[in-house]
Amino acid sequence: MNEFFPEVSRIEFEGKDSINPLAFKYYEADRVVGGKTMEEHLRFAVAYWHTFKSQGGDPFGSGTFQRAWNVGSPMEVAEKTMAANFEFVTKLGVPYYCFHDRDMAPEGETFQESISNLETMVAKAKEHQAETGVKLLWGTANLFSHPRFMHGAASNPDPHVVACCALQVRHAIAATKELGGENYVFWGGREGYETLLNTDMKREREQIAAFFHMCVDYARRIGFTGQFLIEPKPKEPTKHQYDFDAATVLSFLREFDLLDHFKLNVEANHATLAGHDFAHDLAVAADAGKLGSIDANTGDLLLGWDTDQFPTNVYDVTRAMLVVLGAGGLGSGGLNFDAKVRRGSIDGVDLFHAHIGGMDVFARGLLAAQAIIDDGRIDEFRAQRYAGWDTGFGKSMLDGNETLESLEAKALELGEPKRVSGRQEMLENILGNLI
């Protein structure tokens, strides 16, 4: 338990005046905020892929990280990587981790070998979980890295490839169940296209829906009770990703009769790539009762791609936490740091700095959001703004009891409406002052 990060011990809360870089300044796991502890609100998770599998490569250059766990045969590497994961998560003091099948166990020479690699590693993960108390927030299958998925996973023009997806997802769901995972995520990395000249979009979307119905059916048959989540993303790796944003995914689920079985895993950087802000996509999901979980990260406004950076912006995070608290919390979901340290941050300790910063920024966002709710001025302003819909002809319109003619009569009776300020700047000041 002290093998890969010997220079770091358990990260403690020291308060905002601490200058110890390896301490929390705001995240205090058992501090009660609005009736729940910070740990219960935030439900942090560490992402296996970025934190332990990333080598620091980018499209212009190879990996820069030299990880002590990345030495030996593929299965030796898998075991050491897993030990590093549980040591890290325990020292950081977060309750959860998340993984893809191929993060945890290497792809074998044959399908059978891949299956048995995963089963071996799942058995080991189960032991680590029992020993450390660390839990699984979600599992998933990597249906995007292998060359066989170059033309799509479930959306592939070749049903043979889709059968390979079925094999992989079946075992990934079973692994998630075995490890007590509270959710299972589908991120459609290759579910999209480049050109309609070779793509039948209608068929591809129908194929994905048929695949999801089989997944729902399988989960039910094996008794997996975790929540299925779809993670929207507008582009990357394909030009047109089918799961563009929260609204698009909700409409897909409705169209194919899947709405009852799925919620959304909203990632901050994917929302911004879709031209929304993070709070917007969270609100779209929450308004539909479908806010399942969050991939907590951020992009860079000056770079148009998915940089998956650790969150640092208290203002954005506060607005996100307002949506989360307004929705009554994350339920079985959590805040998964789907984020990677920059290529030049090569030391193991940099992984701690990154996560400590992300946790502190969410703790501050939580405190600020709760302060804004307790203050009440913003909620009160918004409620007042729509008060006309609570009574009179506003209400009767919503109840379906008005017609264009009856409303025309109202307009003629009342004349020109009074102009009212939206007070945006005043509200921004209230929010700013409460952060």
Q: Find which of ligand GLC, Mn ion, none residue 85 binds, CB within 5 to 8 Å per kind.
A: none
Distance CA 121, CA 82 (A): 8
Residue linked to tokens 């929450």: 286
Written as six digits, the tokens of 307 are 């940089």
**Per the annotation, does 12 bind a ligand?**
no
Pairing of strands 335-337, 240-241: unpaired
Written as six digits, the tokens of 25 are 């300044």
355, containing H or E segment: helix 348-375
- Count of C-beta atoms within a 10 Å radius of residue 341: 22
Confirm or reject binding of residue 341 to ligand GLC (CB under 6 A).
no
CB of 70 to ligand GLC, least distance (A): 18
**Per the annotation, does 408 bind a ligand?**
no
CB of 155 to ligand GLC, least distance (A): 15
Q: Give the burial class of 274: count Cβ atoms within 10 A of its Cβ; 0-12 exposed, 13-18 middle, 19 or more buried.
A: buried
Query: Residues, the chain, total?
Result: 435
For residues 6, 92, 101, 261, the Cα torsion angle rounded to the nearest 10 degrees is: 170
**Per the annotation, does 338 bind a ligand?**
yes
> Binding-site residue total for Mn ion (CB under 5 A)?
6
**Per the annotation, does 260 bind a ligand?**
no
Looking at beta carbons only, is 98 or 369 nearer to ligand GLC? 98
Nearest CA-CA partner of 134 in 101, 185, 87, 78: 87
- One-letter amino acid for residue 101 of the chain: D
Radius of gyration of the chain (CA): 24
DSSP 47: E
Q: Find which of Mn ion, ligand GLC, none residue 140 binds, CB within 5 to 8 Å per kind.
A: ligand GLC
Confirm or reject binding of residue 243 to Mn ion (CB under 5 A).
no
Confirm or reject binding of residue 316 to ligand GLC (CB under 6 A).
no
Question: Can 151 be counted among the known catalytic residues?
Answer: no
Confirm or reject binding of residue 155 to ligand GLC (CB under 6 A).
no
87 to 116, contacts with ligand GLC by CB under 6 A? 100
Confirm or reject binding of residue 187 to ligand GLC (CB under 6 A).
yes
Looking at beta carbons only, is 140 or 298 nearer to ligand GLC? 140
Distance CA 271, CA 282 (A): 9
- One-letter amino acid for residue 179 of the chain: L
20 to 49, contacts with ligand GLC by CB under 6 A? 49
262 to 321, contacts with Mn ion by CB under 5 A? 267, 269, 295, 306, 308
Looking at beta carbons only, is 207 or 293 nearer to ligand GLC? 293
Asked if 373 and 333 count as a contact pair (C-beta separation under 8 A), the reply is no
Distance CA 106, CA 168 (A): 13
Residue in 41, 50, 101, 103 annotated catalytic: 103
Question: Can 100 be counted among the known catalytic residues?
Answer: yes
What lies within 8 Å, CB to CB, of 106 at 6+ separation is 74, 75, 77, 78, 114, 117
Looking at beta carbons only, is 295 or 316 nearer to Mn ion? 295
Residue in 50, 100, 128, 171 annotated catalytic: 100
Confirm or reject binding of residue 245 to Mn ion (CB under 5 A).
no
373 to 392, contacts with Mn ion by CB under 5 A? none
What residues are designated binding site?
A: 231, 267, 270, 295, 306, 308, 338
List, as residue ranges, the binding site for Mg(2+): 231, 267, 270, 295, 306, 308, 338
Contact residues for ligand GLC (CB under 6 A)? 49, 100, 140, 185, 187, 231, 267, 295, 338
* Active site residues per annotation: 100, 103
Binding site residues, Mn ion, CB under 5 A: 267, 269, 295, 306, 308, 338
